[in-house]
Structure 1
Amino acid sequence: MESTLVKAKKDKIIVIMGATGTGKSRLSIDLATRFFPSEIINSDKIQLYRGLDITTNKIPLQDRLGVHHHLLGEFDSDQIGELTPCQYRLHASNIIEDILGRNKLPLIVGGSNSLIHALVSDRFDPNSDVFNDVDSMLSSELRYDCCFLWVDVGLEVLYEYLLKRVDEMFDSGMFEELTEFFKSETESGPIQQIGIKKAIGIPDGGGGGGDMMDTHIKDLAIKAIKYNTCQLAKRQIEKIQRLRSAGWDLRRLIATEAFRAVLLSDSDMSSEIWEKNVVEPSVKIVKTFLEE
């Protein structure tokens, strides 16, 4: 007699992960606009919140090329405080169901591995800190059929690129954005480090609400943000390595040479290497995954 216990087929999703600044958004747009009808779900915990678009490095609207982005700048941290991993799991899973229901491919994109873990783990325990507690076990049991694309850049090259990117962000108006933010926030009292405010690596909350345009404060801000950004990248890579050690099938895409070309100001060579080393293998991996 044929068994009535048939294992349900899991929904397929793509997860694009990697340290900050490694090109996750660029790859997601490449895949969504050129190969697979997709919608993107943000998994960067700071980019969940409204405001500070330059500081949090949200992908500009014109660069999204019409691709629908979910959970990007959607929440007001002054109203809701900080979105918990459980809340993220609920919001993102509902969006995945909706995207799949419209015959599109969900792309989960972002550097917050704790949110990715909360979303895809079959039995997520919000009371267990799997990345910081050595006694907590990371499970390889997933509730989705996941294709993990890990965009990786050698640490030395990545650090150099991140320092360059912070300078470019300041040139693009990041300092003015922070000045206006601190001006409005300090009027209502001390700045609480929750939600969007965790994005800021400035000592003493911007000099205790002083003159943000002071040269000394500006230099402190640039140094602090550069240091914090590099430390963030290092922590993110450590978490990714832990997920890999736990049995997660992460497909590593090495983008180091493409970023090295960027640092040499050779944009044509960078695009060519990016296409060869990142986009083309990603397309092959995803096509094989979808056909399985």
Structure 2
Amino acid sequence: MRLSILQPHPHTHRCRYPIKQWPRMDASFHRRKDKVVVIMGATGSGKSRLSIDLATLFPTSEIINSDKMQVYRGLDITTNKIPTAQRHGVPHHLLGDVDTDHYGEFSPADFRHRAADLIADITRRKNLPIVVGGSNSFVHALLVQNFDPHSHSNVFQQQQQEEALISSELRYRCCFLWVDIAFPVLSQYLRDRVDDMLDSGMVDELAQFFDPDAARRTGFGIRKAIGVPEFDRFFNKYPPSMGQGGDDPLRERAYEEAVKAIKDNTCELAERQIGKIERLKRAGWDLRRIDATEAFRMVLTSGSSNGSGVWERQVLEPSVKIVKRFLME
């Protein structure tokens, strides 16, 4: 089953409910702090689709990726980068821009610096910056007024007085859209999505990326992406140079273990991300929750072509209303 609900609709501006495209923002956009739309949610929750849908309806929008694995160059299938053809001409920034081999680890402090420069440039041109991604440490680092890279770099790992370390004083005027899905539905979707990624060539991509020397070192940069360590273990036993290996039951079992580990680790990542978002909300961040459960349930039960209408009614339409009010303030 091809899970295409996450693909932006090629004719979003022709959706069934009445909506017009919104013009360039005038000088009032720059009163006080710059305005930024921030789309948050667990991995696989439809953030990329929503960002493209909104950017299509609000012309001159530009997207800044805040997924810490997608900032790195390479492994486009494994890291779920939205393909160029599905971006519909919307400018994307920090998506596959960082070379791990030359740059090393791209930290929250690095993201704060680079993304802030992008926001300043985008707003200077009177365009709308849309920050999109599941890495809440990046989002926190970018948005808080006062950020200490030493005490705040692991803010979500603190066990005591957790909300005390998360400031609600932000340096931008933010419109937060939190795309949320009931976890049992999201978990099943993520497991099915891994199968879809495998069908799209993920193993071949990882085989070309495999480096036995790098695999024995502690992962950094893009090597932390889910899929890399799981298949590094597989390729260490069965190097890509060996080919498919025929009907080797031990090889097949090792392959199945790698796939299961990817699915389990992806679901665990999603659960951690949801927990971090809930912590931000408890700390006073004004997160507007958008429930995408029914759209995803429709995909899982009825096929990929049947979720679009529900997505438009329950996800896109309320998101558009929220962003419209935000821009009119």
The answer to whether TM tops 0.5 is: yes
- CA drift of 1:279 comes to 0.5
- Structure 2, unmatched stretches of 5+, are 1-30, 245-250
Shift of 1:268: 4.2
Partner of 1:3: none
Describe the SS at the equivalent of 1:40: strand
What percent identity do the matched residue pairs reach?
58
Q: CA RMSD in A?
A: 1.6
| 1:120, distance to aligned residue in structure 2 (A) | 0.3
In structure 1, the partner of 2:294 is 257
Q: 1:201-280 counterparts in 2 under 5 A?
A: 201=227, 202-203=229-230, 205-207=232-234, 209-212=236-239, 213=244, 214-280=251-317
Q: Residue in 1 aligned with 2:32?
A: 9
Counterpart of 2:195?
Answer: 167
> 1:114: which partner in 2?
137
Task: Give 2:180's aligned residue.
Answer: 152
Q: Measure, in 1, the Cα distance between the counterparts of 2:274 and 2:200.
A: 27
- Determine the C-alpha separation between the residues in 2 that align with 1:93 and 1:107: 12
Say if 2:78 is the partner of 1:55.
yes
Question: Closer, same or farther in 2 for the Cα pair 1:221/1:127, shift >3 Å?
Answer: same
SS of the residue 2:37 aligns to? strand
Q: Letter of the 2:172 partner, please give it.
A: Y
Distance 1:100 1:42 in 2: 16
Paired residues in the alignment total 283
Q: Matches of 2:233 and 2:83 in 1, distance apart?
A: 25
Q: Which stretch shows the higher mean deviation, 40-49 or 208-217? A: 208-217
- Unaligned 5+ segments in structure 1 are 1-7
Post-superposition offset of 1:188? 6.1
Deviation digits for residues 36-64 of structure 1, max 9, x if unmatched? 42010000000010111100000011111
Taking the aligned partners of 1:57 and 1:268, their CA distance within structure 2 comes to 20
Distance across 2 between alignment mates of 1:203 and 1:166:
13
Shift of 1:187: 5.5
- How far 1:130 sits from its partner (Å)? 1.9
Contact 1:191–1:205 under 8 Å retained in 2: no
1:178 aligned onto 2:206: yes
